[in-house]
Structure 1
Amino acid sequence: MVVRIEDVAPVVREAQYAVRGPIVARAQELERQGREVIYCNIGNPQALGQRPLSWVRQVLALAEYPELLERVPAGTFPADAVEVAREVLRASQHGLGAYTESKGLRFVREAVADFIRARDGIASDPEAIFLTDGASKGVQSVLRLLIADGRDGALIPTPQYPLYSATLTLYGGAAVPYPLDESADWGLSLGDLERAYDEARARGIRPRAICVINPGNPTGAVLDEKNVEGVLRFARERGLAVLADEVYQANVYLPGDRFVSFASVLERLGLRDVSLFSFHSVSKGYLGECGHRGGYLECRNVPAPVMDEITKLQSIALCANTVGQIVTYLLVRPPRPGEPSHATFVRERGEVLESLRRRAGLVERGLNRIAGISCNRVAGAMYAFPRITLPEGATDDEWCLALLEETGICVVPGSGFGQQAGTWHFRTTILPPVDKLEAVVERIGRFHASFCERRGR
């Protein structure tokens, strides 16, 4: 038979993922017609000019094509890159074209555990770590584990990264939004968490977990240690698992702010009755290796039978892609002080992070100079989520589509992330190069004035 739209599962038709929605489809159509499009819709650093780190690409080149190890003259690659490539090939046994065990390569999981120990000063078990195709697959596995039917739900921030709402829809579960406070730089309030939980229970929904994105996507907010502790205590009181999306942990820009992992606070508090699932990725931070789809999930206070079920979910997909696993290894095992690649790595990493810090400030200041647009501090991550004042009857979807058609700038409507009723926003990355980013802000300013004048008549 020919599959009709009516034959497609309702949950698939209902799921929405605005980051790559209709506006992006239109942008791609315009690009095929020869129009220049600046894609500010998604955190895809290398697509917007960020150069790959030498360390990652050198080791991958050698590990993907081992003949180079014997054919290339000595000195072509740094000695430590050569040695790490040899280690990768020895430890993977069959090279990068073979399946691995479902959890991922053991030596990579051991390196992830070492990374967590060094970052937080706490123990980490390689057997409680799963290597995933980016953080998204880890999030989906945990939600698949917890959502049985429409009565099960998860608390998700509003605004949120639509992976969460879309996945809950696909699994037949309920999204339970808890609002972030725009007037407090998108801060998280325990009172709002409690109200969201209580309202869900009153509707017959069983919240099973709370999802937290830190630093925030799309808001750029950074949680402090008190916030993290409050979420964990709330989860304990309500019997919730915690999903900690920490993929932007290296992207903290303001003096005095720092990334605080949920795992470190969980262990400091000695909480043994809260299950914590933490996620990290090679796509963000300073690597920007989105296309390699590497990441990990770490589990704490998760009993062995439940871990077996996660392993089963992993095994259904066989394993995470092997090259992405190796990029994860290179994220958590960078060049060490004294090794030949260390100075270059430190310089390149520093250049990326300093450039992102500058661009965060540029976007914030530039958008706040535009009449009718206000933007909170971009304290972390790779995005701004400015508020726009629109003429009566206009929507952020219309505004974003018109912006694309008239300027070639592709951003995402705030409605795709969730926003307080009666307000309008858009999400933009801070990733274009500085000169192009300045032009983006200038074009947005001219466009907004023109749009409001036309629609306000």
Structure 2
Amino acid sequence: MFNVSLVQRLQEELKANPGSLPFDEILYCNIGNPQSLGQLPITFFREVLALCDHPTILDKAETQGLFSADSIERAWQILDQIPGRATGAYSHSQGIKGLRDTIAAGIEARDGFPANPNDIFLTDGASPAVHMMMQLLISSEKDGILCPIPQYPLYSASIALHGGSLIPYYLDEETGWGLEVSELKKQLEEARSKGISVRALVVINPGNPTGQVLAEENQRDIVEFCKKEGLVLLADEVYQENIYVPEKKFHSFKKVARSMGYGDNDLCLVSFQSVSKGYHGECGKRGGYMEITGFSPEVREQIYKVASVNLCSNISGQILASLVMSPPKAHILSFPSLFL
């Protein structure tokens, strides 16, 4: 088993005694962390963040020569949405309203269906959002969460942390790591026979670590399964831009559910997004969000209470999440240089 602590000790040994080991460098490939492997940050993102954090330079003449006009314009737009134009202040517990407006517009443009900014909770990456939902769904070991195997260990760890039961369903390697609804039914029935109340189904699409992309027909079957069984659908969609097979296409579960005619009264759905993945790889900035739909006002109030415990997510991450969901358009003059 891979042991990060051991690797860290080896790295300290290399630093203290160069040449003491049969290698001179360690690359951490155990987790998606592209900038640690040399990927440069996106120019547009960093320019906008810099300007928002130090807005006094926006009025200086030399700024026009150091920053693109498009970054300057976007920074002004964002600062106008932040009370007091202070990125060092607390925000609303769900995140800055104007940034949630931008994200909702990005979701709507992606899916072709309306998105409500009040359904969006900005978080310090997708992981805290997952923990938040596990905390709300699990009250004892008698509460179970259907989770794919293989899976990113965030889910097994968070289920264990909150005292629930992981109900595994196995992806089929022979069919390209496909998700069979028959497998979901089998595991659900077995868990219920043991007295476990299964609360939710986790689907990672595109998959981690398998990389598969679910077909839209398969997604419709999953939506029907969750609706019939009364399960919350937890859709991990952070890899939506990491698709490497030309004939594959990402469809969000919300888009699929809405195209089937299902609305808030039919399905409880939580979708997770992060600035750490995709082409941006801003892992250290800790930005992300969850969009929650289909929950009663009483449950939404509890979700808000849990979010309020942490006051708010960091503002740089909030800004990045809005930029990821509303990147520069190809027609703007400085587009080529913004993605260097």
TM-score range, shorter chain: over 0.9
What corresponds to 2:115 in structure 1?
A: 124
The 8 Å contact of residues 128 and 307 in structure 1, kept in 2 or not, is answered as no
Q: TM-score, normalised by structure 1?
A: 0.70
Does 2:71 align with 1:78? Answer: no
Does 2:5 align with 1:25? Answer: yes
Query: Structure 2 matches for 1:27-426, cutoff 5 A?
Result: 27-34=7-14, 35-71=24-60, 73=62, 74-94=64-84, 95-271=86-262, 272-345=265-338, 348=340
Runs of 4+ residues over 2 Å off in structure 1: 336-345
SS state at 2:55 partner: coil
2:174, 2:289 → 1: CA distance? 34
Per-residue CA deviation, residues 223-258 of structure 1 (Å, 9 max, x unaligned), is 110111111111111110100000000011111101
SS state at 1:251 partner: coil
The 8 Å contact of residues 55 and 341 in structure 1, kept in 2 or not, is answered as no
Read off the aligned partner of 1:39 and give its amino acid letter: Y
Q: How far apart are residue 274 of structure 1 and its match?
A: 1.2
Q: How far apart are residue 72 of structure 1 and its match?
A: 5.2
2:129, 2:257 → 1: CA distance? 20
What corresponds to 1:378 in structure 2?
A: none
The 8 Å contact of residues 178 and 192 in structure 1, kept in 2 or not, is answered as yes
Q: How far apart are residue 140 of structure 1 and its match?
A: 1.1
Q: How far apart are residue 69 of structure 1 and its match?
A: 1.4
The 8 Å contact of residues 140 and 163 in structure 2, kept in 1 or not, is answered as yes
Q: How far apart are residue 68 of structure 1 and its match?
A: 2.1
2:246, 2:326 → 1: CA distance? 26
Query: Structure 2 matches for 1:420-439, cutoff 5 A?
Result: none
Q: How far apart are residue 130 of structure 1 and its match?
A: 0.6
Read off the aligned partner of 2:30 and give its amino acid letter: N
1:301, 1:129 → 2: CA distance? 13
Q: How far apart are residue 45 of structure 1 and its match?
A: 0.7
2:184, 2:165 → 1: CA distance? 16
Q: How far apart are residue 342 of structure 1 and its match?
A: 2.2
The 8 Å contact of residues 287 and 317 in structure 2, kept in 1 or not, is answered as yes
SS state at 1:68 partner: helix
Q: TM-score, normalised by structure 2?
A: 0.93
The 8 Å contact of residues 78 and 99 in structure 2, kept in 1 or not, is answered as no
What corresponds to 1:391 in structure 2?
A: none
State the number of aligned residues.
327
Per-residue CA deviation, residues 313-354 of structure 1 (Å, 9 max, x unaligned), is 111000111110011111112113432332334x55xxxxxx
SS state at 1:38 partner: coil
SS state at 2:132 partner: helix
Higher-Rg structure is 1
1:287, 1:341 → 2: CA distance? 18
2:251, 2:326 → 1: CA distance? 20
Q: How far apart are residue 61 of structure 1 and its match?
A: 1.0
CA RMSD after TM alignment = 1.3
Per-residue CA deviation, residues 437-456 of structure 1 (Å, 9 max, x unaligned), is xxxxxxxxxxxxxxxxxxxx
